[in-house]
Chain A
Amino acid sequence: AQRVTQPEKLLSVFKGAPVELKCNYSYSGSPELFWYVQYSRQRLQLLLRHISRESIKGFTADLNKGETSFHLKKPFAQEEDSAMYYCALSVPGGSYIPTFGRGTSLIVHP
């Protein structure tokens, strides 16, 4: 079965510092990958997906099939980026039902 690993439970940075939230997956084919975000007191929502190759709120994520990774990056963190971030994977063999990682809590200090 496919698996998503987010190795960091908590990531703490200062405002203006670069941030990278790691996501590794186990799947040998071509997956669909997503990043979801949950801000305080808000519902879980899509941040970005790899197929769209866009930058949302300054965040980007590149699919690296060789390393089976989909890390989320932002060059300059803002306080409003503080949230819970989940990486999710969909694969054809699983009817595309997504598998979620355990999440990383990002705290950006002023």
Chain B
Amino acid sequence: DGGITQSPKYLFRKEGQNVTLSCEQNLNHDAMYWYRQDPGQGLRLIYYSQIVNDFQKGDIAEGYSVSREKKESFPLTVTSAQKNPTAFYLCASSPGTLWAQHFGDGTRLSIL
């Protein structure tokens, strides 16, 4: 079954803690993306990667970090520097940036 898998579905973070959201794809796509979705805000781009071992900041990268060591994996770390991390996080991939994106089911992050 091809597609994008995000885990976990729900995640809770304590104050001052870093947490990592997983995103894996088996579509052999080169490009991967992380978005943050808040009510009334649409999708805001956090980071994107067009190729393995390369990634670029999006519009709201502060307080987040990523890595792209493998083509199929693009984990997102929400660091303690992110002051308002409570949100729904979406991962996406596409063959290239000009192509339509395929999305995961998302991870909902909450602060304890």
Chain A residues in the interface with B (C-beta under 8 A):
6, 9, 32, 34, 36, 43-46, 49, 86, 90, 95-103
Contact = CB atoms under 8 A, between A and B. Distances in A.
Interface magnitude class on chain B? 20 to 34
B40 A49 contact: no
- B interface, over-half SS: strand
Interface of B: 33, 35, 40-45, 48, 50, 56, 58, 90, 92, 96-98, 100-106
Given A43-B103, A44-B103, A90 B98 contact: yes
A9 B42 CA distance: 10
B89 to A, nearest CB: 12
B98 A96 contact: yes
A102 B100 CA distance: 18
Contacts of B45: 97, 99
A-B pairs, top 10 by smallest CB distance, nearest first, are A102-B42, A96-B97, A100-B43, A44-B103, A46-B100, A96-B98, A100-B42, A43-B103, A43-B105, A103-B42
